[in-house]
Structure 1
Amino acid sequence: MVPRHIPIIGRFDDGGGFGRLSAVVGILLVALFWLGLGMDSGLDRQFIPTGASHPMQNGRIGNMLLAAIVVLGVGGLTLLLIQAVYWQRRTAERLRLREAELIEQRNRLRRYVADLERIADVAAHDLQEPLRRMVAYSQLLASHDKAGCDAEVRDYVGHVIDGARRMRALVGGLREFVAVDSIPRTGEVSSAWVAMTIARQRLAEVLAEAGATLVVDPLPEVEADQASLIEIFVQLLDNAVRYRSPDRRPVIHVSVVREGDMARIKVCDNGQGIDPARMVRMFEIFYRPHGGGDRAAPGIGTGLAVVRRLVERLGGSVWADSENGAGSSFGFSLRLGAALLRQGENNRAA
């Protein structure tokens, strides 16, 4: 078990005693050296009584002062050396304990992540089957004898089916959220244009059903694996279609702006929009900014959270802007591919 505090090493934990003593010795050494350098025959005569006749007394006094300086100097240097060794040992001990704490915390975090992944995996497999049966038998019950079921019974069955489907979506979203950490970082460079094209194909039916218009500007190559990049675009496009405005045809615009070595890709829509006060929580898992019932908030609140984890795993960042009733913009930044960076450097050099 790693201790949560640093134990006291030696008698003085903060080295205050050694520090004060070293300061006194240093001041004394400076004074003595100043006196020694300023010593001359006139200064020597001040230390010899008037009328003294022995000429060797001048040299003896000077020798005594020099000896005192040497002794105090050696003593002071010794104390400074002892203090330096003490501080070095104390710092090494603290670093060792800190390293042990970090190793323990890292191992504990790995265990927590592994447990969470196992829980999500079990939930995704063991809970999906009962939910599928619930939906299937509820649908059979609703269609078995429509004449024998009144409107209230059919309404109850519809609630059961909707609840089961929503539970399946929640379990699937939780699994996607947890599974992000298990995706290895390969350092590969992928085309954002190709990823967007694939995401558009996957959501072709959803886009057609909503009558959405998708405008995509030319997108660059970025440092990201293609699977993660496709998932990011799928989640952002699905979010734009899901929260479209009922009063106008949905229009989605995907654009990019280069800032240094980063590509800032933005997905804008003309949908319902979000209250700016709620934007700070948009990338939290299971957060639904519109509130209310299922019709007001058809999502489950995992799509943007998955986007944030994917982008941060790739070394980028996410942001969001919105105006209530006028649409939203969700963006993310990723590092440009090495070829584009070299091209930019060449253009600047030219």
Structure 2
Amino acid sequence: MSIHPLPPPKAPTGLGRLPVARWFVLIGVLAGVTFAAGVAIVMTLSTRAEALHPPPELAAQLDRLNAALIVVFALLLALGVGLAAMVRYAVLKPIDQLTAQVRTVAGGDFDHDLHVDRPAELAELSSHIDSMRARIVSAWRVATDQTEELRRSNGELEQFAYVASHDLQEPLRKVASFTQMLEQRYGPQLDERARQYIHYAVDGAKRMQLLINDLLDFSRVGRVTGEKGEVDSGALLERALENLSATLEDAEATVTHDELPRINGNELQLTQLFQNLIENAVKFRSEEPPRVHIGVRRDGDRWEFSCSDNGIGVEHKYADRIFLIFQRLHPRDVYPGTGIGLALCRKIVEYHGGQLWLDGDSDGHGATFRWTIPASGGEG
């Protein structure tokens, strides 16, 4: 198996720029020079001592000393040569082998085995690295299979979305329209219970149409690609307010906002985000006229937005439940809707790389939702 190679390693700094083999060569050269200088000094001193014509007993001791020094120097030389050979074949060569194997794996051949026989420390290290490589390759293969399965599932989801948006909508429209025509044509012949049944059928068909549309919007969020760009969030808010103009006017709602920045995102989805949050604030209003404020502040490389209202509020124990799809805190006959609005908002925010949550300090009178969106590339 060959996949994309890994990025190049970081360049070493300081003394680490010199390979370990050169360090051994440098130290070996210094040791050799020191050894040669020691031999030369001993021979010079021995020659000078003989030139002084010492007594026979002292001369014999000097001869024995010279013989001992020769043996010591010979042993040191043999040990130095042996140490150099051991370092070369037991350390440097295995390191070169392991380096070459790791370089092969880093080049993209992730099925290449990593193994050296000596020394014990490098053998253990190579075994651990090879085990880690095998686990990574296994996980990568599983992820690849899951990606293919996800791609196939997304294709089926797109087909379902097409069927839901076309083939399912038309029968629902027929059920609603023909049921209403039945009431109009045979109304005088129907009793009150029959009219109530017709009302239930029409209301169910319309709610099913609304639910299908909301599910389609929810499913499209994760499948939108290549549509992000630098947008003016203030213009998106104005567009959302235009879409809600009739609702805001009927509720006598007032919407204020801070000076909103340019951000990186999808225009349609971010407009829908503002629209859903403001519509929720108006829907769950108190006895007072709705007042909604859209705030914003800079938080590092992100913008933190907020939507505050003076409505009935949300108890903090439901802070997570309200973002689940189809979760409702109120009966449908009190507050209409499918229970998918906040779930859609959270999915939009997460698609843009941010987070959406209910402010923990907003219990009681009114509610405050906060969300983060990355700043645009041109922001300082």
| TM-score category, normalised to shorter length | 0.7 to 0.9
* Structure 2: runs of 5+ lacking an equivalent: 1-30, 40-62, 102-114, 116-125
**Residue 131 of structure 1: how far off its partner (Å):** 1.2
| Deviation for aligned residue 1:81 | 5.2
- Of residues 219, 222, 228, the one that matches 1:178 is 219
* Higher relative contact order (CA closer than 8 Å, sequence separation 6+): 1
Give the structure 1 partner of residue 262 of structure 2. Answer: 221
1:105-132 per-position Cα deviation (integer Å, ceiling 9, x unaligned): 3222222222222212212221111111
Which amino acid in 2 is paired with 1:314? H
> What is the TM-score normalised by the length of structure 2?
0.67
- Does residue 255 (structure 1) correspond to residue 269 (structure 2)? The answer is no
Matches of 1:221 and 1:61, distance apart in 2? 78
Paired residues of 1:135 and 1:164 also in contact (CA < 8 A): yes
Q: How far does residue 58 in structure 1 lie from its aligned partner after superposition?
A: 4.4
- Report the 3-state secondary structure (helix = DSSP H, G, I; strand = E; otherwise coil) of the residue aligned with 1:333: strand
Runs of 4+ in 1 over 6 A off after TM superposition: 51-54
Partner-residue secondary structure (3-state), 2:222: helix
Q: Distance in 2 between matches of 1:336 and 1:68?
A: 64
1:263-322 CA distance string (max 9 Å, x none): 22211122222221111132222222x14x312342212222222222222222212237
2:319·2:357 contact (CA, 8 Å) conserved in 1?
A: no
In the alignment, which residue of structure 2 is the partner of 1:305? 343
The answer to whether 1:166 aligns with 2:180 is: no
How far apart are residue 174 of structure 1 and its match? 0.6
> For 1:273-288, what aligned pairs fall within 5 Å after superposition?
273-288=313-328
- State the Cα deviation string for residues 38-80 of structure 1 (Å, max 9, x = none): xx99xxxxxxxxx989936445544454454345434431555
CA 1:155–1:68: 2 relative to 1, 3 Å: same
Equivalent pair of 1:185/1:314 in contact (CA under 8 Å): no
Distance, in Å, in 1 between the alignment partners of 2:335 and 2:267 is 30
User: Is contact 2:314–2:364 with CA below 8 Å preserved after alignment?
Assistant: yes
| Number of residue-to-residue matches in the alignment | 294
Task: From 56, 60, 69, give the equivalent of 2:83.
Answer: 69
How far apart, CA to CA, are the structure 1 residues paired with 2:228 and 2:157? Answer: 26
Residue type of the alignment partner of 2:367: S
Superposition deviation, residue 324 in structure 1: 5.7
Match of 2:273 in 1: 232
Contact 1:257 1:263 in 2 (8 A): yes
Does residue 326 (structure 1) correspond to residue 365 (structure 2)? The answer is: yes
Matches within 5 A, 1:1-350: 55=67, 57-77=71-91, 78=93, 85=101, 86=115, 87=126, 90=130, 94-245=135-286, 247-288=287-328, 290-291=329-330, 293-321=331-359, 323=362, 326-339=365-378, 341-342=379-380
Once superposed, what is the RMSD of the aligned Cα atoms?
A: 3.2
Gaps of 5+ in 1: 1-32, 42-50, 343-350
AA of the residue aligned to 2:343? A
Cα-to-partner distance string for 1:138-171 (whole Å, 9 max, x where unaligned): 2223333444333322222222222111111111
Which residue number in structure 2 is paired with residue 9 of structure 1? none
2-side partners of 1:188 and 1:53: how far apart?
Answer: 88
With over 3 angstroms needed to count, the CA separation of the structure-2 counterparts of 1:255 and 1:72, relative to structure 1, is: closer
Query: For residues 326 and 65 of structure 1, do their structure 2 counterparts lie closer, same or farther at Cα, with a shift above 3 Å needed?
Result: same
- CA distance in 1: counterparts of 2:135 and 2:192, whole angstroms: 73
Partner SS state of residue 182, structure 1: coil
Task: Give SS of 1:274's match.
Answer: coil
